[in-house]
Amino acid sequence: MLAKLSDVLESAQREEFAVGAFNTPNLESILGVLNAAEELGCPVILMHAEVHEDLIPIDIIGPIMLYMAKRAKVPVCVHLDHGESIPLLEKAMKLGFTSVMYDGSLLPYEENVENTKKIVQMARNYNVSVEAEIGIINREGGQNEISFKTMEHMYTDPMTAKLFVESTQIDALACAFGTAHGIYKEKPLLDFSRVKEISRLIKIPLVMHGGSGVSFDDYRKAISSGIRKINYYTYMAKYAGEKVSGKLQEAKGIPYYHDIFSWGTEAMEEHAKDVLRVFSKTSRWNYHDDI
């Protein structure tokens, strides 16, 4: 069933768990994530990232995400991730996305505030939730080159976060506390005390970007500190790629594409179940600890 971000995060806030938010730039990933969420009976967020517009435009993937969300047996939010283009944000709202993230984190603070306020006002007209970001989450490409020891100046300042939320009236805040997008070359140094302080100062749900590749123990610490939405994609895609590669090596003769599609879907479902079990703090399932 289709749900708003504010609705799925309200229950996460109340029950102190995190909702998994997965980039789904193809049908295989949509099926894998929804199959996992339905099997576990937990809410989930399907995301289209602006950076994936060249891979598949929102005009094509958006209606598919919405159709699949509506027929799902669990609450599903359909979300635009890291939207920097205001026309694209509005397009997502018009398509029926129930949530958007405006990312003005690289802009001067005042400009970020003003743009975010405009997006919030626009979103209210469409009954859409808004996430925004303060602080800078490292956006290196597939490989993170910078040292985590040098990242503290990019972290979210708690008082600035409080002022930002009060000024913009957003529904969720993405905060920088040591994670990064892409493949980690070294273990991230996460500042959980910073998350706790931000959570103490503001009452809306906090979002963890760059969620792939973090240890299960650190996920639990982040959730205990106040994180209620965890963005995830890179390591799920990597896991599926490795599984498909192995299957191709095992295959006798020429493999059919529908087999590759099936292998990728199954791998992403398996991986999504592993992380969703941790995000939702469920202990009654076993999971792989080698993600």
- pLDDT tens for residues 180-226? 665 556 666 789 999 999 999 998 999 999 777 788 899 999 999 99
Task: Enter the tokens of residue 142.
Answer: 């597939």
- Domains in the chain: boundaries: 5-279
Tell the CATH superfamily of the 5-279 domain: Aldolase class I (3.20.20.70)
Which residue type is seen at 260? Answer: I
Q: Do 92 and 100 meet the contact criterion of CB atoms below 8 Å apart?
A: yes
pLDDT range class, residue 28, cuts 50, 70, 90: very high
| Residue 81 among the catalytic residues | yes
What's the confidence (pLDDT) of residue 186?
Answer: 60
Give the closest residue to 202 by CA, choosing from 153, 167, 151, 177: 167
Binding residues: 82, 103, 133, 181-182, 209-212, 231-234
Q: How far is CA 193 from CA 41, 152, 167, in A?
A: 31, 13, 24
Indicate if the pLDDT at residue 119 is higher than 80: yes
Binding residues for Zn(2+): 82, 103, 133, 181, 209
Q: Name which residue leads in pLDDT, 254 or 102.
A: 102
pLDDT range class, residue 283, cuts 50, 70, 90: very low
Q: Do 274 and 280 meet the contact criterion of CB atoms below 8 Å apart?
A: no
What's the confidence (pLDDT) of residue 151?
Answer: 59
pLDDT range class, residue 77, cuts 50, 70, 90: very high
Contacts for 54 with CB less than 8 Å, ≥ 6 apart: none
What is the arithmetic mean of pLDDT over 73-78?
A: 97
What's the confidence (pLDDT) of residue 280?
Answer: 86
Query: How far apart are the C-alpha atoms of 290 and 182, rounded to whole Å?
Result: 17
Catalytic residue among 7, 54, 59, 81: 81
What's the confidence (pLDDT) of residue 183?
Answer: 57
Q: pLDDT for 126-185, tens place per residue?
A: 999 999 999 876 654 434 444 445 556 778 999 999 999 999 999 999 998 877 665 556
Query: How far apart are the C-alpha atoms of 28 and 5, rounded to whole Å?
Result: 23
What is the arithmetic mean of pLDDT over 8-22?
A: 95
- Count of residues for the chain? 291
Q: Do 33 and 24 meet the contact criterion of CB atoms below 8 Å apart?
A: yes
What's the confidence (pLDDT) of residue 126?
Answer: 97
Q: Do 20 and 46 meet the contact criterion of CB atoms below 8 Å apart?
A: no
